[in-house]
Amino acid sequence: MAETSSPMEIDAAAPPPTALGKVNKGKAPVSDGKSAPWVEKYRPQSLADVAAHRDIVDTIDRLTSENRLPHLLLYGPPGTGKTSTILAVARKLYGSQYQNMILELNASDDRGIDVVRQQIQDFASARSLSFGARPSVKLVLLDEADAMTKDAQFALRRVIEKHTKSTRFALICNNINKIIPALQSRCTRFRFAPLDAAHVRERLQHVIQSEGLDVDDSGLTSLVRLSNGDMRKALNILQSTHMASQHIDEEAVYLCTGNPMPKDIEQITYWLLNETFSDGFRYISDIKVRKGLALVDIIREVTMFVFKIEMPSDVRVKLINDLADIEYRLSFASNDKLQLGALIATFTNARSALVSAVC
Ligand SMILES: Nc1ncnc2c1ncn2[C@@H]1O[C@H](COP(=O)(O)OP(=O)(O)OP(=O)(O)O)[C@@H](O)[C@H]1O
Ligand SMILES: [Mg+2]
């Protein structure tokens, strides 16, 4: 069947039922009610709303306006706006026809070779209605594409080429290494880096204002810090802290997330550097229970703190290496008490090394 991208082409059928069944899955407009998750309520609706990544968004915007959209591969860490960007592109391209023109598949769908052979093939080869003067290429959105099997990815290579005239493919993933090179080379790649602190702050301020929240500067700074450039995380923490307390300050944010407060980390590092083994063990065990802290969070934050302490670089290197080992062991659910002992032992060794460096 010959495919054409002529602007005024009126084709026989709307997308097949298989496609329609999957369209817009999980992206139904969320009610604006108080219970709505803010990550969805404040999902950027247009490309202009997407914070940060200005270069990428402007490029995609221009290509969309000029109707020259290539196959896209958006990758980067979670909560940086990849899905939001592509959904905004779809809205811009299709307006009210949005639901008929895109096939969205994500990791919750079967992602094996059968899906490529059936659903994606059917959708891509189904003829579509074109509206107005604008040629309507369809969009296949493969969110979380790194979860696709290798066989499915190999099968997709040919499908992409075969349907290039009528369909654009947008692949989204966190881990680009899991996408086979042949697919990467068929797409224009854009990397979505973690959002920088200023953009997270700005976007949070917008939500705070819209929701009329009482957030002080220490609270906002903590939200930005704990989000680590993940906007979804920032909004989720903001919303859960708001549910727990009306006034949002540093303490409320840290209490809500269970993360150790900076002053607790300072105190723990002080004990690690100055107390005897048994006292240090007792004090840290006590604060862990009292404040409900997880050892892995303590290790992560203490490691960051070690970067700020002045010490000979060989001591620092060994210390950080040992801390990384403890963190690794904790990820296999090893015994907390033993690992706390290892943490104190590591600092005891570092203290001896510091003393001999001075002598
Ligand atoms: N650049 C951004 N500008 C504004 N809001 C953002 C941005 N990035 C993320 N968000 C917020 O975080 C939520 C999740 O974003 P999105 O689904 O686009 O992330 P993602 O990059 O696709 O993440 P994942 O890799 O986990 O799928 C959005 O609903 C929005 O509220
Ligand atoms: Mg996504």
- Does one domain contain both 176 and 239? no
**CB distance 268 to ligand 1 below 6 Å:** no
> For residue 43, which ligand has an atom nearest its CA?
1
Ligand 1 atom closest to the Cα of residue 203 is: 4
- Domain boundary among the residues 191, 210, 228 is at 191
**What integer is the mean pLDDT of 238-266?**
93
More confident residue, 112 or 193: 193
- Does one domain contain both 141 and 50? yes
Count of domains in the chain?
3
Q: Look at ligand 1, atom 8, and give the residue with the nearest C-alpha.
A: 81
- Domain boundary among the residues 166, 191, 216 is at 191
CATH number (domain holding residue 32) = 3.40.50.300
Ligand 1 atom closest to the Cα of residue 85 is: 18
pLDDT at 33 over 60: no
**What integer is the mean pLDDT of 315-338?**
92
Rounded to the nearest angstrom, the distance between the alpha carbon of 22 and the centre of ligand 1 is 21
**What integer is the mean pLDDT of 175-194?**
95
**What integer is the mean pLDDT of 224-243?**
95
6, part of any domain: no
**CB distance 231 to ligand 1 below 6 Å:** yes
Across 32-46, 55-69, 118-132, 287-301, least confident range: 118-132
7, part of any domain: no
* pLDDT for position 10: 31
pLDDT at 28 over 50: no
Kindly report the average pLDDT of the chain as a whole number. Answer: 85
**CB distance 51 to ligand 1 below 6 Å:** yes
More confident residue, 166 or 222: 222
**What integer is the mean pLDDT of 200-229?**
95
Q: Look at ligand 1, atom 24, and give the residue with the nearest C-alpha.
A: 78
* pLDDT for position 1: 35
- Does one domain contain both 325 and 177? no
- Does one domain contain both 147 and 283? no
- Does one domain contain both 56 and 141? yes
What span, in angstroms and rounded, lies between the C-alpha atoms of 69 and 62? 9
CATH number (domain holding residue 237) = 1.10.8.60
249, part of any domain: yes
Rounded to the nearest angstrom, the distance between the alpha carbon of 187 and the centre of ligand 2 is 18
What is the extent of the structural domain holding 235?
Answer: 197-257
* pLDDT for position 98: 81
CATH number (domain holding residue 283) = 1.20.272.10
- Does one domain contain both 114 and 167? yes
- Does one domain contain both 209 and 348? no
List pLDDT tens digits, range 131-148. Answer: 554 557 889 999 999 988
- Does one domain contain both 72 and 219? no
Q: What share of the chain is helix, strand, coil (3-state, %, to 5)?
A: 60, 10, 30
**CB distance 83 to ligand 1 below 6 Å:** yes
1, part of any domain: no
Rounded to the nearest angstrom, the distance between the alpha carbon of 48 and the centre of ligand 1 is 14
- Domain boundary among the residues 257, 282, 298 is at 257
Ligand 1 atom closest to the Cα of residue 173 is: 25
72, part of any domain: yes
9, part of any domain: no
Give me the residue label for tokens 């906002």: 220
pTM of the model: 0.81
pLDDT at 13 over 50: no
* pLDDT for position 342: 96
- Does one domain contain both 25 and 159? yes
- Does one domain contain both 126 and 172? yes
The contacts found for 98-102 with CB under 8 angstroms, 24 or more apart, are 98/24, 99/20, 99/23, 99/24, 100/14, 100/15, 100/20, 100/23, 100/128, 100/129, 101/15, 101/128, 101/136, 101/138, 101/139, 102/23, 102/24, 102/138, 102/139, 102/140, 102/141
**CB distance 79 to ligand 1 below 6 Å:** yes
